[in-house]
């Protein structure tokens, strides 16, 4: 029996940071952001569909997706975001399911890092949900710093998702990532011990 853990949170709340910690305990992580990039590479059907919906201008001269341009459209416009989600999410879900099932054969636990686990209705993919939580001021500050975004662009992204408070209220477990990375690691270790995935 392998436990499938859904890891989620808000943008820049620390999912990748916690994913790296899972990997340090030899627990594999499938990252939805990485899969979402793979499915829109040149030659993929999803990219052709994006061009049909958003126009040729959404491509860079080398034929790859102009991600900043698409981001500037969809993070400000709910209808366009839904349009993009309807193209990308089913393919992402299919690939993640296959990867999950492959890894389940070998590992006692598998993590699916899915930023839109609740919004994208992907809960059926996982057994337990871990939400990485930070206060909104910490989230805004870390996002602006990491992505070199203005406050407005960062807020557009944050507000395009379900609030972190709401996500935390739906979780099986919440990891508080306001503190140091070491404090976050300690919380994860405790969790993995209580779920009997690692021995203390």
Ligand X SMILES: CC(C)(COP(=O)(O)OP(=O)(O)OC[C@H]1O[C@@H](n2cnc3c(N)ncnc32)[C@H](O)[C@@H]1O)[C@@H](O)C(=O)NCCC(=O)NCCS
Instruction: List binding-site positions for ATP.
Output: 12-17
Residue 11 contacts ligand X per CB under 6 A = yes
Beta carbons within 8 Å of 11's beta carbon, 6+ residues apart: 115, 139, 143, 157, 158, 161
Considering only residues 2, 17, 83, 85, which one is a binding residue for ligand X as defined by CB under 6 A? 85
Residue 122 interacting with ligand ATP (CB under 6 A): no
120 binds ligand ATP (CB under 6 A): no
Exactly one of 89, 93, 142, 167 binds ligand ATP (CB under 6 A); that residue is 142
Q: Which of 20, 33, 38, 151 binds ligand X (CB under 6 A)?
A: 33
Choosing from 6, 14, 28, 115, the residue that interacts with ligand X (CB under 6 A) is 115
Residues 162-191 that bind ligand X (CB under 6 A): none
Alpha-carbon distance 99 to 11, whole Å?
23
Backbone angle region of 14, left / alpha / beta, with phi > 0 → left and psi within -120 to 50 → alpha:
left
Helix (H, G, I), strand (E, B) or coil at 128: strand
């Amino acid at each position: 029996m392998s436990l499938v853990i859904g890891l989620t949170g808000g943008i820049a709340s620390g999912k990748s940071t916690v994913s790296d910690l899972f990997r340090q305990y030899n627990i594999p992580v499938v990252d939805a952001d990485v899969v979402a990039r793979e499915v829109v590479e040149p030659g993929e059907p999803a990219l052709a569909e994006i061009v049909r919906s958003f126009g040729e201008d959404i491509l860079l001269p080398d034929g790859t997706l102009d991600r900043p341009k698409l981001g500037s459209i969809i993070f400000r416009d709910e209808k366009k975001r839904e349009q993009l989600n309807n193209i990308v999410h089913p393919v992402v879900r299919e690939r993640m399911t296959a990867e999950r099932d492959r890894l389940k054969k070998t590992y006692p636990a598998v993590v699916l890092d899915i930023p839109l686990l609740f919004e994208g209705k992907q809960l059926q993919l996982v057994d337990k949900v871990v939400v990485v939580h930070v206060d909104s001021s910490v989230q805004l500050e870390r996002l602006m710093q990491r992505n070199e975004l203005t406050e407005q662009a960062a807020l557009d992204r944050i507000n395009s998702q379900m609030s972190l408070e709401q996500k935390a209220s739906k979780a099986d477990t919440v990891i508080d990532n306001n503190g140091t990375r070491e404090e976050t690691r300690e919380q994860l270790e405790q969790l993995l011990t209580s779920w009997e995935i690692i021995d203390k």
